[in-house]
């Protein structure tokens, strides 16, 4: 079993997992119908051939599979009644251009600021939001990128509770000798469902296709070297902060403002988190 080494957003989100482990979508419906037909048809054919034992076994196995799929479907409908509505922070509150999800997790990666001079500081913002009723572990693999001092690819793993939105802020300093021009930081997103898929939470009017792996290319424009030789971001620590929780009536965007340094940080606890 793989060791679980992931970051938990601050403040912690106590939202429990709800809904069935298995989603019971169209595939479960297909299995239920197909196995029910197989149980009836296969059982009758074998019975008429005089193979009573085989008929019973075929009917039993097919019926069991059909019932299991049917139970998943029932769980899906029961869960839908109890499912809460997602805050849809990324798509609705921020109005970000999100085109797909990765196993129910919407994500976007970009630099702030994204136009900077060589030798200056910037932040990579990894926004994530879980649109499932069960927790997810999000794996971001980013780099390598020589201008950002990333000699090899790094990975950070983030835990997301059901319906939680969060942002991982990674301060980086651009190398003073970096080549001016357009740059892209390659980022690959993969998501684990350690406690099962759960249900998809309602996300407003948006329909987002679901993928297994999503690639990003976070762009930034590099100008000529700045006069300041010491980048300020080196002393900052990465932070992973929660922006919204299903248990709260509204998103807490003041946390984002504090992390980005545009609002007072009094009373706000931030979490230091280094990527592995």
Partner 1 sequence: MITPELLHRLRLAQRRSAQEQQLLSGRDWILVAGLVQLLSGLHPLFVLINQRVLGSAPRPGVPPGVELAAEVALAAAFVLLWRWARYAPFRAAMTAVVAFLLVHGALGLLEPRTLLAGAVVKSLILVGLVHAARTGYLRHRPL
Smallest Cα–Cα separation from 245: which of 136, 163, 158, 159? 163
**Pseudo-torsion of CA 149, 258, 110, 103, nearest 10°?**
110
Smallest Cα–Cα separation from 190: which of 153, 222, 149? 153
Q: Is 170 in the site for partner 1 (CB under 8 A)?
A: no
Q: Is 33 in the site for partner 1 (CB under 8 A)?
A: no
Please identify, using beta-carbon distances, which residue of 117 and 253 lies nearer to partner 1.
Answer: 253
CA distance linking residue 21 with residue 109, whole number of Å:
29
Contact 192, 40 (CB under 8 A): no
Number of amino acids touching partner 1 (CB under 8 A): 28
CA distance linking residue 179 with residue 93, whole number of Å:
36
Report, in Å, the least distance between residue 93 CB and partner 1.
9
CA distance linking residue 159 with residue 135, whole number of Å:
7
Would you give the binding string for partner 1 spanning residues 191-230, x where CB under 8 A is met? ------------------------xxxxx-----------
Please identify, using beta-carbon distances, which residue of 108 and 164 lies nearer to partner 1.
Answer: 108
Report, in Å, the least distance between residue 51 CB and partner 1.
46
Report, in Å, the least distance between residue 12 CB and partner 1.
22
Cβ within 8 Å of residue 27, ≥6 positions away: none
Report, in Å, the least distance between residue 112 CB and partner 1.
6
Report, in Å, the least distance between residue 223 CB and partner 1.
16
Cα three-residue angle 77-165-234, rounded to 5 degrees: 155
Q: Segment 88-147, which members bind partner 1 (CB under 8 A)?
A: 94-99, 108-114, 125, 127
Contact 244, 11 (CB under 8 A): no
Please identify, using beta-carbon distances, which residue of 51 and 99 lies nearer to partner 1.
Answer: 99
Please identify, using beta-carbon distances, which residue of 63 and 221 lies nearer to partner 1.
Answer: 221
Smallest Cα–Cα separation from 163: which of 247, 270, 76, 255? 247
Q: Is 256 in the site for partner 1 (CB under 8 A)?
A: yes
DSSP state of 79: H
Report, in Å, the least distance between residue 102 CB and partner 1.
12
Q: Is 254 in the site for partner 1 (CB under 8 A)?
A: yes
**Which residue ranges make up the site for partner 1 (CB under 8 A)?**
94-99, 108-114, 125, 127, 184, 215-219, 253-254, 256-257, 260, 262-263
């Amino acid at each position: 079993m793989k060791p679980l080494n992931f970051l938990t957003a601050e403040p912690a989100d106590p939202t429990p997992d709800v809904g069935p482990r298995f989603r019971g979508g169209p595939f479960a419906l297909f299995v239920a119908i197909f196995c029910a037909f197989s149980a009836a048809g296969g059982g009758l054919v074998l019975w008429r051939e005089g193979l009573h034992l085989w008929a019973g076994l075929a009917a039993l196995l097919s019926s069991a599979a059909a019932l299991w799929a049917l139970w998943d479907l029932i769980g899906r409908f029961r869960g839908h009644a109890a499912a809460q509505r997602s805050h849809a922070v990324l798509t609705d509150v921020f109005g970000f251009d999100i085109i797909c999800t990765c196993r129910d997790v919407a994500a976007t990666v970009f630099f702030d600021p994204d136009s900077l001079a060589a030798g200056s500081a910037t932040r990579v913002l990894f926004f994530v939001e879980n649109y499932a009723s069960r927790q997810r572990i999000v794996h971001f693999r980013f780099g390598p990128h020589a201008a950002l001092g990333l000699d090899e690819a790094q990975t950070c793993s983030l835990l997301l509770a059901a319906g939680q939105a969060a942002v991982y802020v990674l301060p980086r300093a651009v190398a003073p000798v970096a080549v001016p021009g357009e740059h892209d930081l390659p980022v690959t997103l993969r998501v684990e469902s350690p406690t099962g898929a759960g249900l998809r939470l309602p996300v407003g009017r948006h329909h987002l296709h679901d993928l297994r792996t999503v690639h990003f290319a976070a762009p930034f424009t590099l100008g000529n070297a700045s006069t300041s030789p010491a980048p300020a971001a080196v002393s900052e620590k990465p932070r992973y902060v929660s922006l919204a929780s299903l248990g709260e009536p509204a998103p807490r965007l003041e946390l984002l403002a504090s992390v980005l340094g545009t609002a007072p940080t009094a009373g706000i606890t931030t979490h230091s988190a280094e990527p592995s």
